[in-house]
Amino acid sequence: MTSESTPVTTDEENPAQATGAPGIRGALARFRVMAYVVGVGLIALVVGMVLDRGFDQPGPNNIIGPVHGFLYVVYLLAIVDLSLKARWSMKGTVLVMLSGVVPLFSFFAERRVTAKVRAGVRL
């Protein structure tokens, strides 16, 4: 029995750039999706807070708040997954985690992280 599979090569210094690096592409895709979801959810949360505080409409915030909180935890898990596979520093990981707290910042962080991971640069 011969198996004709593509050999997996690894690069200890640059794991994201290795051909066939296991899991980085999937982890990056999950991170990108969650960055957009959390970014939109945070914008919705800000709108809900304006409605709650400014117009005395607490209804939307009662739904959006817990949903955003759950999605933020999933976002953190996606970041941890990607950071372990791409071998990020602790500082880089924490900074990317904080990007889900500031409205609109997760969109910018997603672009920067995607570019760096595709280039094989560690955060």
pTM of model > 0.85: no
Report mean pLDDT in 10-residue bins for the chain, 123 residues: 51 47 85 93 91 84 90 94 91 91 89 90 83
- pLDDT at position 4 is 56
Q: What local confidence, expressed as pLDDT, does residue 5 receive?
A: 56
Distance, CA of 39 to CA of 16 (rounded, Å): 25
Domain boundaries, given as residue ranges, for the chain: 21-119
Q: What pLDDT, on a 0 to 100 scale, did the predictor assign at position 9?
A: 45
